[in-house]
């Protein structure tokens, strides 16, 4: 009896060790996928979609902090970093290079990781408010559209006639690895004078 109890303990210990090793390996793989996925976070920018050359705002360099994004519904204030590479997305929400800056009349696109800065983004509803603070002004947006698109859907980054803020993150939220879709929130400017 004692001998079989000992073998059961040994077998159980081996199973636990193998399970912990598998979990650690999966964690490392997920980290590596997320670290390398920043450069392909959004579809490639169409050359017709560029910062307004007549805008009086200076063009930030990749890696610059250009402001902050506050989402009261999920109790978050996040730095907005110029660029959507893996380095920038580790620091905060990335501003899609080539889209207009927040507050400018057109589509300003911000991207963030679903498991960090945009955790709980799915809690936002139509009518919720989002505030962007920059050195050139404070802009309040109201969510007017929420949708799920394929990862390569280019309709997310098209120009608009009004001042629109587009937030993008990977979807499904709990997907392991490179998610096949994007969760998109679009909000229209309601407080603040849009910059032409």
Catalogue the active-site residues.
Answer: 113, 170
Give the H or E element holding residue 171.
strand 164-171
Whole-Å CA distances, 167 to 5, 23, 42, 122, 124 = 57, 31, 11, 11, 11
| Residue 128 CA, distance from chain mean position | 18
Contacts of 52 (CB under 8 A, 6+ apart): 100, 104, 105, 106, 196
**Alpha-carbon torsion angle 170, 171, 175, 176, nearest 10:** -20
């Amino acid at each position: 009896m004692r001998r079989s109890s000992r073998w059961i303990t040994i077998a159980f210990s081996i199973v636990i060790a193998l399970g912990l090793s598998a979990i650690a390996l999966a964690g490392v793989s997920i980290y590596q996928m997320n670290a390398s996925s920043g450069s392909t976070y959004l579809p490639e920018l169409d050359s017709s979609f560029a910062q307004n050359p007549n805008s009086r705002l200076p063009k930030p360099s990749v890696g610059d902090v250009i402001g902050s994004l506050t989402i009261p519904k999920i109790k978050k204030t996040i730095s907005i970093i110029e660029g959507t590479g893996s380095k920038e997305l580790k620091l905060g929400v990335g501003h899609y290079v080539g889209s207009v800056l927040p507050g400018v009349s057109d589509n300003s696109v911000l991207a963030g990781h679903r498991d960090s800065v945009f955790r709980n983004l799915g809690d936002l509803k139509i009518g919720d408010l989002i505030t962007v603070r920059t050195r050139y002004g404070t802009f309040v947006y109201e969510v007017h559209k929420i949708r799920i698109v394929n990862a390569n859907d280019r309709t997310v980054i098209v120009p608009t006639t009004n001042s629109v803020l587009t937030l993008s993150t990977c979807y499904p939220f709990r997907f392991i690895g490179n998610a096949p879709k994007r969760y998109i929130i679009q909000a229209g400017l309601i407080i603040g004078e849009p910059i032409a």
